[in-house]
Amino acid sequence: MSNNKDIILWKHKIIPKIMGIILFVFCSLNIFGCFQPSKSKSQNSPSVGQKKKIVVWHWMTDRHDYFLELAKKYKDLTGVEVVFELYAPSDAYSQKIRAAGQAFTIPDIFGILAEKRDFGAFVKAGHLADLSQELNKDNGAWRKQFVKGALEVNEFLPNNEFGVKPGIYGIPIDIMTIQLLYNKKLFRQAGLDPDRPPRTWDEFIAAARKLRDAGIQGLVSGWGEIWMIYCFATNYAFNIMGEEKVFATFRGEVPYTDPDWIQVFSLFKQLSDENLLATGIVTMVNKKAEQTFANELAAFAFNGSWCVNVYEGMNPNLDYGVIMPPSFSQKYPMKIWGAAGSSFVVNDRSLRKNEAIAFLKWLTMEEQQLYLLKTTKNPPSNKNCLTKISPLLYEFTKQMDNSTHPNIWPAHEFPVVIERFNKGIQSIIIKEKTPEQLGRELQELKEQELKRQKEK
């Protein structure tokens, strides 16, 4: 009988009390936000009391230690902890960012290494904060501190081809241009005047021939990384036919069989036919190309402003100059690729968004920019620091007004056509194709892609 009473007591008094305690704990947890956030919020969103910790993902192995020093300084100044997490190489980093975007686990601050259309996809998915309002505060004080053109690669204009809401979605921490470098010591060995580098294509060819005859390799570049071929080729396309005709080609209004495009492809044929390129250039990665130039095994290099730091580490005594790629035509100006070098974006879903933006403002202030300039040798994005850069870096940065970049172009080529374009030029260099053959191949592929697009 006592057992039955115990059972009744358990059912009607003890169990309700236990359930009440569980319900109270459940509600308390819900009120104080201790549940894992839903996928409408970043998985990195903090609970109350943890909002002063900003997580930054990046790929920049050469800058990681300096980022850590800046993070320590920022915490001392503000009490806000900034955690930099390095994921390298860049390909692995990009894969991690894509996966994190799909899983809604991106950090507070990160960078996007991708074409503009992929950048736009992150915006359309709601991952990136529009920073335009912050840049325009106080009569545009933050915006005005940047070098002209530095913000453009991170900006989407009205009626853009990607259907992205107009705005600026990234902040540059440095800038870059890609130009031609020449070795002054090797110039002297070949009887060339190092104070009179080539300014035209004919002068460039004449100098490269003289170097070749002296047993010195001519041009080296990382053309195994085919985007660098595209960079060099579009430089000369703009110079030979002008920007509007290039963009008209991308829109399908001008064929790749046009004589101007055949002329662009023929430049590579001339370099190859006259043996003016470094051996193995079509399979050479840029790191190998940098080693070749730093070790004084080639007289010319096509490379970006980041190389100043690279060459100093490889050969501190390297004596070289920086020039614009020599122009082929006087009809249109030579354009070089240049814009923001590395940029950071802010996770629009982060509960630390305001703190993240505040940190980027601090990071792009003059004092921090000068520290990064001194330690990494990358040209700063803050224009107030440009008077402090070295003569070599100045040669890179002074051409920003003559720069362009795929991320600011009003029209873009199909990725599959770009790939065929670059590999086709490699085939011209190794004498497997003629410029005319490549023109016909590209036009045929282009027409197929235009037809496929219309059928969608």
Question: Which residue would you say has higher pLDDT here, 191 or 3?
Answer: 191
Q: Are residues 193 and 272 in the same domain?
A: yes
> Region 92-116: what's the mean pLDDT?
94
Same domain, yes or no, for 316 and 420? Answer: yes
In a domain, 79, yes or no: yes
Residue 322 forms part of a structural domain? yes
- Is the same domain home to 143 and 197? no
104 and 213 co-located in one domain: no
Q: What is the 3-state secondary structure (H, E, C) of 301-334?
A: EEEECCHHHHHHHHCCCCCEEEECCCECCCCCCC
Mean pLDDT of 50-67: 89
Rounded CA-CA distance 135/381 in Å is 14
Q: What's residue 239's pLDDT?
A: 98
pLDDT surpassing 50 at residue 328: yes
Are both 129 and 96 inside the same structural domain?
yes
The pLDDT of 286-306, averaged and rounded, is 97
52 pLDDT higher than 80 = no
Looking at per-residue confidence, does 454 or 58 come out higher?
58
Q: Does any domain span residue 11? A: no
Which residues contact residue 37 at a Cβ distance below 8 angstroms, ignoring those fewer than 6 apart?
43, 45
Counting Cβ atoms within 10 Å, is residue 138 exposed (0-12), middle (13-18) or buried (19+)? exposed
Query: Quick one: 290 and 212 in the same domain?
Result: yes
* Confidence bin at 203 (pLDDT 50/70/90): very high
Reply yes or no: is the peptide bond before residue 410 cis, omega within 30 of 0.
Answer: no
Residue 340: what pLDDT?
87
Who contacts 346 (Cβ-Cβ below 8 Å, separation ≥6)? 108, 109, 128, 129, 131, 353, 356, 357, 360
> Do 306 and 260 belong to one domain?
yes
Mean of pLDDT values over 347-372: 97
**Span 427-443, pLDDT tens digits:** 999 999 999 999 999 99
pLDDT, tens digit, 9 for 90 and up, residues 234-283? 999 999 999 999 999 999 999 999 999 999 999 999 999 999 999 999 99
Q: 362 and 345 in contact (C-beta within 8 Å)?
A: no
Domain of residue 97: give its range: 53-174+341-381
Identify the CATH number of the domain in which residue 135 sits: 3.40.190.10
Render pLDDT for 150-187 as a digit per residue (tens, 0 to 9). 999 999 999 888 899 999 999 999 999 999 999 999 99
Average pLDDT of the chain?
Answer: 89
Domain co-membership, 256 together with 317 = yes
User: Do the domain assignments include residue 442?
Assistant: yes
- The whole-number pLDDT of residue 109 equals 98
Helices first, then strands: H and E counts in the chain: 18, 13
- Give the global pTM: 0.81
pLDDT the model gives residue 85? 97
Q: How confident is the model at residue 89 (pLDDT cuts 50, 70, 90)?
A: confident
Query: What is residue 194's predicted lDDT score, i.e. its pLDDT?
Result: 97
pLDDT of 456: 77
Length in residues, the chain? 456
pLDDT of residue 20: 43
- Say yes or no: 196 and 265 in one domain: yes
Residue 28's H or E segment, with its range, is helix 15-31
Q: Are residues 262 and 288 in the same domain?
A: yes
pLDDT tens, residue by residue, 59-82: 999 899 999 999 999 999 999 999
pLDDT at 91: 84
Establish if 94 belongs to a structural domain: yes
Q: Is the pLDDT of residue 38 over 90?
A: no
Query: Residue 185, Cβ neighbours under 10 Å: how many?
Result: 13
Structural domain count of the chain: 2
Q: Which of 294, 290, 323 is nearest to 392 (CA)?
A: 323
Q: Same domain for 256 and 352?
A: no
The answer to the question of residue 101 being in a domain is: yes
Residues 160 and 68 in one domain: yes
Residue at 401 is within a domain: no
pLDDT-above-70 percentage for the chain: 89
Confirm whether 347 is domain-assigned: yes
